[in-house]
Amino acid sequence: MIPYGKQDISAEDIAAVNAVLTSDYLTQGPKVAEFEQALCDYSGARYCLVVASGTAALHLAVAALELPAGSEGITTPNTFAATANSMAYCGIKPVFADIDPLSHNLCPAAVASAITPATALLTPVHFAGQTADMPALHRLAQQHGLKVIEDAAHAIGSCYADGSPVGNCRYSDATIFSFHPVKTLTCGEGGAVMTNDPILYQRMLLLRSHGITKDPSQLSQQPGPWYHEMQTLGWHYRMTDMQAALGLSQLQRLTLFKARRRALVARYNEALAELPWLKTPQEMEGFSSCFHLYVVEIDYAAIGKSRSQVMDSLMADGIGTQVHYIPVYHHPWYREQYGDKTGSCPVAERYYQHCLSLPLYFTLSDEELRHVNQAIQRLAR
């Protein structure tokens, strides 16, 4: 079976986790701080918090902005539900703007049209590892006084057109990463929030661990060394030292992971370029993507098969595929809460009708890649 994505765990990764298992710390300890510093060193951001998941990272970032309840936040429908959920958790209404037909990221013109007096937040997603047009979105945010959170769950290792790494927060108040097993690097589960804002960082630090602090400089009184205070209602979003050790070890191979993923994408593109009923992904000029997904668009009518039939046919050949993504506002909870938005983002809906994610991961072999390409080419016969 060739899955659409999976992790690669090396002997060095196992040794790093084993070292923690025989240490004095299993939950949050010195490896967490070391991983946070390594992510800052990699990205160029001033501050980092590693957390339990990418979803936790999004929730913390939105909550720490302390936006007025009833505000609106703009994001893309072409994402996992957690992006919009992080707004809903905090009483902010998610508003969906349409996507660019080439990058499948938020279209700045569509965002500009969606801004209202209630808009307070913009959360672009770097879909499949390709970065959104952050300079244009940043300009819009500055013009309208919006906060910006980059959902870079797909994009650790990717770079903007200026060559700088995603995560440096030059275009945003915060950037989040995800370390789920199908992502470029994994902690098993986990996420991170990057920021250059010391106030935002301190708020997230408090919220990450129940809203409790033992920092003497923040306590209302100091009766003794046991004393701590719950100063706000927070969550248990901490990462363990075991996860952080795995993340640290994986981070050392990020350059290798990126090079292999880009090589696989280039080979896919070459093999599938001549199929008239299939569109390969296009990397935006000047950008350097650490591709998390390889998503093609298929004209199913042209080959006389439905998407389900194509997925079943590929599965029979031992090839796993996936759909990224169902437009968020199609989910029943979103329809119930915010009304039926069908037709509001026609480019995203058209893309959804045709998209299919093919296998892409570090250990995908050349032979497996050929097998996938041959199976795709046979679909129209």
Please list the helix, strand and coil fractions of the chain in percent, rounded to the nearest 5, in that order: 40, 15, 45
3-state per-residue secondary structure call for 227-255: CCEECCCCCECECCHHHHHHHHHHHCCHH
- Give one word for 318, left, alpha or beta, with left for phi > 0 and alpha for psi -120 to 50: left
CA 248, 253, 259, 265 torsion: positive or negative? Answer: negative
Which of 31, 93, 147, 183 is catalytic? The answer is: 183
> Rounded to an integer, what distance in angstroms lies between the CA atom of residue 255 and that of residue 287?
16
Residue type, 232: T
Q: Before 47, cis peptide (omega within 30)?
A: no
CB 267 within 8 A of CB 362: no
Buried b (16+ CB within 10 A) or exposed e, 12-23: ebeebbeebeee
CA–CA distance, 143 with 146 (Å, rounded to integer): 8
Alpha-carbon dihedral angle through residues 300, 301, 306, 307, given to the nearest 10 degrees: 20
Is 57:167 a contact under the CB 8 Å cutoff? Answer: no
Annotation marks residue 279 as catalytic: no
Could you give the residue numbers annotated as active site?
Answer: 183
